[in-house]
């Protein structure tokens, strides 16, 4: 698989190089030179998830890695369920939160850990990543105990839920966590600055596990196929898919799936009031505001780093950005949606609730749609309990960490401090 740097198209790399580098020159994102188109989609949709995913990943990677290795990566990474659950008459939720850290990030993080483990030859690798909530846990879990790989996770202090925080800050060993006195965008900027710094990048063999890493995005393509496969069992039409969006990795993967030939009618990009993309789609101006804190905190991103990839896919396929409906919703919309789903018999959480509402706002007669369930409701227990006036039970994964001490270091959003800290702990 060949990829090029969207900022410097002459920089071309293999998949293995792109996984190891994360970002290209000048922080450019890697993008595939060619998107494989599948001519046997119906046949694939009839297969079980893991078998189908081997074919999908094989279409991208078999030439470089060999199909046998691809099969192994898929089998090791995808070992949990992803049911499509009917939420009401014409809306379904693809529940992506049945992995070890109860969020959709498990798909990408586990696949990336498998890739790095299999492909990296260096003695030492440092994964440096920023999280707005769930990436931290998924990456920490996927890499925990791999002693050749050190993981450093930055997160905005006080801006993720306590249970989210407990899932990755209590592990120790090769997992180091830093709470930053700022917002997610600042954490993301620190990660980018670290990649720009030669000492850090080279001495620590830096790697990023954010959704800028292409291996994570490829893995996420597979669950869109599963969504459509399950949807088609009971529906004749093609689904509209609403994606709760922050950094826009999830939507990027969905667009790749559609480009490969998956029948998806259209996408709805759903955000909270950090709505740079919906405003851009409606008005044509890219005007990020200061990030504001919301109850769907993992989507509190005002400068989504995957957006250039969205535009690149649309351009490569000859589609139009007008095919993506952008909807930004308020806190009260989020609460209304949670309540409405709950009264229909479906317990959700703020991120998925935003996508569910955006879906119903844009769906026309005779359409049916899917919203992505990106996190388990118990991960947002406090918000959900308050919004619905109910008690949410903790699943065993959260019960196990809720009383453990947080092991994070704490610092301002200052790169010099971060650099000193990295050299001190690694
Ligand atoms: C629960 C949840 N929903 C949605 C998102 C947004 O996904 P993306 O950043 O790929 O747009 C995230 C990202 O962290 C998340 O954790």
Domain range list for the chain: 80-104+214-395
Query: Can you tell me the distance from the alpha carbon of 110 to that of 112, in angstroms, rounded to the nearest whole number?
Result: 5
Tokens of 375: 């996190």
Is 420 a residue whose pLDDT tops 70? yes
pLDDT at 117: 82
Residue 29 pLDDT level (bands cut at 50, 70, 90) = very high
Burial pattern 36-45, b for ≥16 Cβ within 10 A else e, equals: bebeebeebb
CA 159 to chain centre: 18
Residue nearest to atom 15 of ligand 1 (CA): 298
Report the residue among 97, 133, 141 best suited for mutation to probe ligand 1: largest number of ligand atoms under 8 A from its CB: 133
Report the residue among 134, 138, 300, 301 best suited for mutation to probe ligand 1: largest number of ligand atoms under 8 A from its CB: 134
Please give the helix or strand (H or E) that residue 378 lies within, else none: none
Pocket of ligand 1 (CB under 6 A): 103, 132-135, 211, 244-250, 298-299, 351, 374-375
pLDDT at 306: 95
Nearest ligand 1 atom to the CA of 248 is 11
Mean pLDDT value across the chain = 95
Query: Can you tell me the distance from the alpha carbon of 115 to that of 69, in angstroms, rounded to the nearest whole number?
Result: 10
Nearest ligand 1 atom to the CA of 244 is 4
Report the residue among 246, 267, 277 best suited for mutation to probe ligand 1: largest number of ligand atoms under 8 A from its CB: 246
When pLDDT is averaged across residues 360-379 and rounded to a whole number, the result is 95
From ligand 1's centre to the CA of 423, what distance in Å? Answer: 30
Please give the helix or strand (H or E) that residue 289 lies within, else none: none
Report the residue among 298, 306, 328, 381 best suited for mutation to probe ligand 1: largest number of ligand atoms under 8 A from its CB: 298
**pLDDT: is 32 or 26 the higher one?**
32
Count Cβ atoms within 10 A of the Cβ of residue 310 and give its class: 0-12 exposed, 13-18 middle, 19 or more buried: buried
Nearest ligand 1 atom to the CA of 211 is 10
Nearest ligand 1 atom to the CA of 220 is 10
Residue nearest to atom 12 of ligand 1 (CA): 298
When pLDDT is averaged across residues 281-308 and rounded to a whole number, the result is 95
Residue 23 pLDDT level (bands cut at 50, 70, 90) = confident
Is 77 a residue whose pLDDT tops 70? yes
pLDDT at 122: 64
pLDDT at 35: 98
Nearest ligand 1 atom to the CA of 249 is 10
Nearest ligand 1 atom to the CA of 352 is 3
Residue 20 pLDDT level (bands cut at 50, 70, 90) = confident
pLDDT at 123: 67
For 272-328, list the strands marked E by DSSP. 324-328
Please give the helix or strand (H or E) that residue 241 lies within, else none: strand 240-244
pLDDT at 384: 96
Is 422 a residue whose pLDDT tops 80? yes
When pLDDT is averaged across residues 4-11 and rounded to a whole number, the result is 98
**pLDDT: is 210 or 190 the higher one?**
190
Is 426 a residue whose pLDDT tops 80? yes
Residue 302 pLDDT level (bands cut at 50, 70, 90) = very high
pLDDT at 118: 84
Q: Percentage of the chain with pLDDT > 70?
A: 99
Query: Can you tell me the distance from the alpha carbon of 157 to that of 270, in angstroms, rounded to the nearest whole number?
Result: 25
Tell me which CATH code domain 80-104+214-395 carries. 3.40.50.1100
Is 211 a residue whose pLDDT tops 90? no
**In sequence order, what are the beta bridge partners of 242?**
268, 371
Q: Give counts: helices (H), strands (E), the chain.
A: 18, 14
């Amino acid at each position: 698989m060949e990829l090029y740097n969207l900022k410097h198209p002459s920089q071309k790399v293999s998949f293995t190089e792109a996984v190891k580098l994360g970002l290209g020159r000048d922080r450019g994102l890697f993008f595939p030179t060619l998107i494989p188109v599948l001519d046997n989609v119906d046949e694939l949709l009839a297969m079980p998830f893991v078998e189908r995913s081997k074919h999908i990943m094989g279409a991208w990677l078999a030439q470089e890695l060999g199909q046998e290795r691809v099969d192994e990566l898929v089998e090791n990474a995808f070992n949990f369920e992803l049911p499509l659950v009917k939420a009401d008459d014409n809306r379904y939720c693809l529940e992506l939160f049945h992995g070890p850290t109860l969020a959709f990030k498990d798909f990408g993080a586990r696949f990336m850990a498998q890739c790095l483990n299999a492909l990296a030859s260096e003695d030492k690798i440092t994964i440096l990543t920023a999280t707005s909530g769930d990436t931290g846990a998924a990456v920490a879990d996927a890499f925990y105990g791999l002693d050749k790989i050190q993981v450093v996770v930055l997160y905005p202090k006080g801006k993720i839920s306590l249970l989210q925080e407990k899932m990755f800050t209590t592990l120790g060993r090769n997992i180091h966590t830093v709470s930053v006195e700022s917002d997610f965008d600042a954490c993301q900027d620190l990660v980018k600055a670290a990649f720009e710094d030669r000492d850090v990048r080279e001495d620590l063999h830096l790697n990023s596990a954010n959704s800028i890493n292409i291996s994570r995005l490829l893995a996420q393509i597979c669950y869109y196929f599963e969504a459509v496969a399950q949807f088609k069992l009971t529906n004749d039409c093609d689904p509209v898919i609403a994606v709760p969006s922050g950094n826009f990795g999830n939507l990027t993967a969905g667009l790749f799936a559609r480009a490969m030939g998956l029948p998806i009618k259209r996408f709805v990009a759903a955000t909270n009031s950090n709505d740079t993309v919906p405003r851009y789609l409606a008005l044509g101006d890219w005007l990020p505001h200061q990030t504001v804190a919301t109850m769907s905190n993992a989507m509190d991103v005002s400068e989504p780093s995957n957006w250039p990839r969205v535009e690149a896919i649309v351009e490569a396929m000859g589609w139009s950005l007008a095919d993506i409906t952008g909807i930004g919703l308020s806190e009260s919309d989020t609460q209304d949606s949670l309540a409405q789903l709950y009264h229909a018999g479906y317990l959700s959480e703020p991120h998925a609730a935003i996508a569910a509402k955006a879906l119903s706002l844009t769906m026309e007669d005779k359409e049916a749609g899917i919203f992505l369930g990106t996190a388990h409701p118990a991960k947002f227990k406090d918000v959900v309990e308050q919004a619905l006036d109910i008690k949410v039970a903790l699943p065993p994964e959260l019960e196990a960490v809720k009383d453990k001490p947080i092991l994070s270091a704490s610092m301002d959003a200052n790169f010099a401090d971060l650099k000193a800290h990295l050299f001190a702990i690694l």
